[in-house]
Structures are given as C-alpha cells and as structure tokens.
Amino acid sequence: MSAIELAHLTIEDLLPHREGMLLIGEVLEVSVLHAVTLSTVRPTWPLADAYGVESLICVELAAQTAGVCNGWERIQTQGRDSDQMGWLVAVKRADFCISHLPLGSTIKARAENTLIFDKFREVTSQLHHDDQLIASVVLQLYQA
C-alpha cells in the first residue's frame, strides 16, 4: 500500500467525531508517534458558559489530537476506508493552568504516544494558548 499524504485527508478521515463533538480545526503535524493540532474555541462547544469554555475540555482536545495520530497510523497501515473504531480513553493525569478558555481563542495541542504496547497507548499532551501552557494531560488509550 502506498503512503497517503496529509494534504489528501480530511480531519473526518482521521477521527470518528462529527458535528458538535469534532473540536479539532486543523492538523499541523502528524506521524505515527505524535500530532499537533489547532482548534478555535467556540460557544457551541460542550462546557461553554458566559466565561468561555471550561478548561476540562482540554482533556477532549488532547484525546482528539491523540486520535489524529492514531488515525494516521490506521490509514497508513490499513487504508483510508478502514474501520474508524474509537479508543477507550482513561485520564491518568490532568493539570490545568487556567479555569476557562476564552471564546475565539486558538488552542495548539501536541499529543505524543509515549508508550505503545499492542492496542494500548499512553499519550502525553500539552496544550497552549498564545505560547502559554494551559494544560498538561496524560491519557491511557485502549482499542477493543
């Protein structure tokens, strides 16, 4: 199977998320070990209130960024039309530096597979707004 380039894929090719739960806006970098994404904070996001969006949403941004990386690996090894089964995700650790993400702000997330064992991954993610660290998240992923 020949390698597929990122420019020929959509975010929906990489992730099973749609409509209101697809938070990733752009993929900046992707490999089988890491991904970097950009997202614009919107009032339609889950956890939005009058102050912006609660920082807990960073866990989902980290998980979707990890999903981009692991979706890339799936497409490279199994093809674009392969099954987009999701991953079971557990939060091992999450540290938040702010309480709310301002509406309209851009969040840059980097997720890296720091441990890979069969269908298990441990993913370390850092999220930034204006070059300021806003959250660090460690996830554990398992694909059934």
Segments making up each domain of the chain, as ranges: 6-142
Q: Which of 99, 98, 24 is nearest to 68 (CA)?
A: 24
pTM as predicted: 0.91
CATH superfamily of 6-142: Hotdog Thioesterase (3.10.129.10)
Q: Counting every residue, how long is the chain?
A: 144
Query: What pLDDT is attached to residue 28?
Result: 94
pLDDT along the chain (144 residues), means of 10: 66 74 92 95 95 96 92 81 80 98 97 95 97 97 89
d(CA 133, CA 114): 19
DSSP line for 5-66 = PGGG--HHHH----GGG----EEEEE-SSEEEEEEE--TTSTTEETTEEETTHHHHHHHHHH
Residue with tokens 């999220």: 127
Query: What pLDDT is attached to residue 1?
Result: 41
